[in-house]
């Protein structure tokens, strides 16, 4: 008899696991249960769906239930929530949310890919109508409806992380008055301080008002509807809607109730093969604790790229493989209006916490030949070990080309390169595309001056 595989969660990690396992061993009987109404959606595209750069929710979906079921041979069920794992009997209880029916499904191997969910702070008014989150397609549809509704509206965004900034851009472009409240004293505090300021300036230039060092302590309501917020300084600001984007927390309750080991921020602990403390149960994606690729220590960096990789590895392994996940650098990129922001590896603080003696170097350099029209500055910050010059982290802001440069640094970190070695890289050059001394090389050569063996 063929092995039965149950996968809980049908987005990046879950579907990667399902697809990979089925490809490796077509005999496996795999079923995917997804709580929301959509599988395989690009959650990172939701801000742009809200802003209508992407018109229909279906555009965010790369595989429908029908394609998954018929083409890939993996039946997938939406509106099906797994509510209990019975490890001794190897059974998962799943509720059909459309009709409330419960059913037990036996498994030989189970994959938990329940992801993460937005943090919902316990403040007065949090339950008012007009408080939004942005994680699922349904969240996006709800938020887009109010953003695109007639009439001038005022939005308050709690939290100036990536989701908050991306939605701020899209709301501002949609004509809303936008206020961001960020509890910390600066935006994206893992970045170089000057970079945080540049992000702030970009937002201000486009009319987004940013309140730094300011949390939201109460959501004001009138007749159960949002009417404003009260911030930590006691001031009140009127608003028609509030987006809560103060971070996410791993959705690990099911694992916890089943007695699986949890780690950082309550994320599920897995080994490099993505196996939980129960050898028959794998977990992957935003619900698991991961390994930092540089320090080897635990990390929680929920990103779509990692979820896909981990899903593929879990899928390979439930089909009998022994693939291992190598860890995260936390490479990321985003844009705020026309300012692109990227980072990889450790921040200064993280490097210090990991026991390094980091030195920092920041350079500014055009992204193409200075004489070629349209050159825009790239600002690059390198974080490296002061004694050895080994690169630990890199951050950049500027034009779209920053993404490729951060990827070079991610590759260099992966290979353990020093800034001196990076300075010797043979990189491409053409006046319309990149300067003869690429910002990567300039950053490395400036950093070399601070290395003191």
Report the catalytic residues.
44
Tell me, rounded to whole angstroms, the distance of Cα 311 from its chain centroid: 15
Question: Which residues fall within 8 angstroms of residue 84, CB to CB, at 6 or more apart?
Answer: 92, 93, 254, 257, 258
Q: How far is the CB of 426 from a copy of itself (least distance, A)?
A: 4
Binding of a copy of itself by 263 (CB under 8 A): no
Are the C-beta atoms of residues 311 and 284 closer than 8 Å to each other?
Answer: yes
Q: Does 414 bind a copy of itself (CB under 8 A)?
A: yes
Q: Tell me, by CB under 8 A, how many residues bind a copy of itself.
A: 65
Tell me how far, at minimum, the Cβ of 316 lies from a copy of itself, in Å. 12
Q: Dihedrals φ, ψ of 140, to 5°?
A: -65, -45
Residue 411 engages a copy of itself in binding (rule: CB under 8 A): yes
CA dist 163 to 14, 29, 243, 422, Å? 22, 37, 10, 32
To 5 degrees, how large is the angle CA 139–CA 142–CA 148? 130
Region near a copy of itself per CB under 8 A, out of 180-188, 281-289, 340-348, 351-359:
340-348
Tell the smallest beta-carbon distance from residue 134 to a copy of itself (Å): 14
The verdict on 404 binding a copy of itself (CB under 8 A) reads yes
Tokens representing residue 124 in the block: 């007065």
State the minimum distance, in angstroms, from the CB of residue 341 to a copy of itself. Answer: 9
Using CB under 8 A, pick the residue from 212, 403, 446, 450 that binds a copy of itself: 403
Among 8, 12, 112, 254, binds a copy of itself (CB under 8 A): 12
* Residues 22-51 within binding reach of a copy of itself (CB under 8 A): 42, 44-45, 48
Do residues 274 and 282 make contact, with C-beta atoms less than 8 angstroms apart? Answer: yes
CB of 152 to a copy of itself, least distance (A): 26
Q: How does DSSP assign 371-399, residue by residue?
A: TSTT--EEEEEEEEETTT-BEEEEEEEES
406 is a contact residue toward a copy of itself (CB under 8 A): yes
**Between residue 285 and residue 314, which ones bind a copy of itself under the rule CB under 8 A?**
293, 303-306, 308-309
35 or 293, CB closer to a copy of itself?
293
Cα distances (angstroms) measured from residue 37 to each of 41, 45, 52, 132, 286: 10, 17, 20, 18, 19
Position among 434, 442, 444, 447 found at the interface with a copy of itself (CB under 8 A)? 434
How far is residue 56 CA from its own chain's centroid? 22
Residues 362-401 touching a copy of itself, rule: CB under 8 A, are: 369-373, 400-401
Euclidean distance between CA atoms 16 and 430, whole angstroms: 38
**Which position among 38, 107, 340, 384 is part of the footprint of a copy of itself (CB under 8 A)?**
340
Structural Rg of the chain based on CA atoms: 23
Q: Cα separation of 210 and 197, whole Å?
A: 11
Near a copy of itself by CB under 8 A, which window of 98-106, 192-200, 206-214, 411-419? 411-419
Residues forming contacts to a copy of itself in the complex (CB under 8 A) are: 12, 42, 44-45, 48, 53-54, 59-60, 62, 293, 303-306, 308-309, 326-335, 340, 342, 344, 369-373, 400-401, 403-408, 410-412, 414-415, 417, 421, 424-434, 436-438, 440
């Amino acid at each position: 008899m063929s092995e039965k595989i149950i996968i809980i969660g049908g987005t990046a990690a879950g579907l990667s696991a399902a697809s990979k396992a089925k490809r490796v061993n077509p005999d496996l009987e795999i079923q995917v249960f997804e709580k929301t109404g959509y599988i395989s959606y690009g959650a990172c595209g939701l801000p742009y769906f809200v802003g209508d750069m992407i018109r229909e929710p279906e555009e965010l979906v790369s595989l429908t239930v029908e394609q998954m079921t018929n083409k890939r041979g993996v039946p997938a069920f939406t509106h099906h929530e797994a509510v209990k794992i019975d490890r001794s009997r190897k059974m998962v209880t799943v509720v059909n949310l459309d009709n409330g029916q419960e059913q037990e499904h036996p498994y030989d191997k189970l994959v938990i890919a329940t992801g993460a969910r937005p943090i919902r702070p316990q403040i007065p008014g949090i339950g008012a109508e007009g408080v939004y989150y942005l994680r699922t397609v349904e969240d996006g549809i709800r938020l887009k409806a109010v953003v695109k509704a007639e009439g001038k509206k005022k939005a308050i965004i709690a939290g100036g992380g990536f989701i908050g900034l991306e939605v701020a851009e899209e709301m501002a472009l949609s004509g809303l008055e936008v206020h961001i409240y960020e509890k910390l004293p600066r935006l994206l505090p893992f970045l170089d301080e000057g970079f945080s300021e540049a992000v702030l300036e970009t937002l201000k230039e486009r009319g987004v008002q940013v309140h730094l060092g300011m949390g939201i302590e109460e959501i004001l309501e009138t007749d159960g509807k949002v009417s404003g917020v009260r911030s930590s300084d006691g001031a009140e600001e009127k608003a028609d809607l509030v987006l809560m984007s103060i971070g996410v927390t791993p959705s690990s309750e099911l694992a916890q109730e089943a007695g699986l080991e949890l780690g950082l921020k309550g994320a599920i602990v897995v080994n490099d093969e993505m196996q939980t403390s129960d050898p028959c149960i794998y977990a992957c994606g935003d619900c698991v604790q991961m390994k930092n690729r540089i320090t080897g220590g635990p990390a929680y960096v929920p990103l779509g790229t990692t979820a896909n990789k981990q899903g593929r590895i879990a899928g390979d392994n439930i089909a009998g493989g022994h693939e291992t996940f190598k860890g995260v650098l936390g490479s990321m990129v985003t844009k705020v209006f026309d300012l692109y922001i990227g980072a990889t590896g450790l921040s200064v603080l993280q490097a210090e916490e990991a026991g390094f003696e980091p030195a920092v170097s920041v350079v500014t350099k055009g992204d193409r030949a200075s004489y070629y029209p349209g050159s825009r500055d790239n600002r690059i910050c390198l974080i490296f070990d002061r004694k050895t010059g080994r690169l630990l982290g890199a951050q950049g802001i500027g034009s779209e080309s920053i993404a490729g440069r951060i990827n070079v640094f991610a590759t260099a970190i992966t290979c353990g390169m020093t800034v001196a070695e990076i300075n010797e890289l043979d990189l491409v050059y053409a006046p319309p595309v990149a300067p003869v001394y690429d910002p990567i090389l300039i950053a490395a050569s400036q950093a070399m001056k601070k290395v003191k063996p």
